[in-house]
Amino acid sequence: MSDIHEGGCVCGGVRYRTIGTPMMATICHCKFCQRRTGSAFSEPAIFKLEQVEFSGGPLTTYEHRSDESQRWLRMEFCSRCGTTVSWTAERRPGTRGISGGTFDDPNWLQVRRHIWTRSAQRGTVIPAGVECFEKGAPV
């Protein structure tokens, strides 16, 4: 399997390349992720900053502060089509999250944990054998 994976936004205006494996790949069931994606959960893949290269662009940033932790999350999205491609988080300095569904082939990611399961939507099936956290996972 190649250590280089590419992806981008819906309109193709923003592209990226990741090099190496992510530090983690998670499914997040928090209410914020449900609202920002318009779906039941998000699939963040967390990389070191130097593992991600962007082309095209530009990205627009929106900063959200958690009502629970008060920490910031800076969402980065395509200014043309609105796809949230990546983000940085106060909680994880030196890292960048990539929205798993934006990879050209997202099936290479190996999700091993689900977080904020207390907010999981009814009917969501969490596979056996993954770590589960009612709230956020330990750093």
Which residues, including other chains, have CB under 8 Å from residue 81's CB and lie 6 or more apart?
A: 9, 10, 11, 13
Spatial separation of the C-alpha atoms in residues 77 and 58, rounded to whole Å: 9
Q: Does the pLDDT value for residue 96 go beyond 90?
A: yes
Summarize the confidence of residues 34-46 as an average pLDDT.
88
Averaged confidence pLDDT in the chain: 90
The single residue listed with the structure tokens 């958690």 is: 66
pTM for the full model?
Answer: 0.86
Residues 61-95 have pLDDT tens digits of: 999 888 777 889 899 999 999 999 999 998 899 99
Which residues, including other chains, have CB under 8 Å from residue 99's CB and lie 6 or more apart?
A: 37, 42, 43, 44, 45, 83, 84, 85, 86
Q: Which amino acid belongs to residue 121?
A: Q
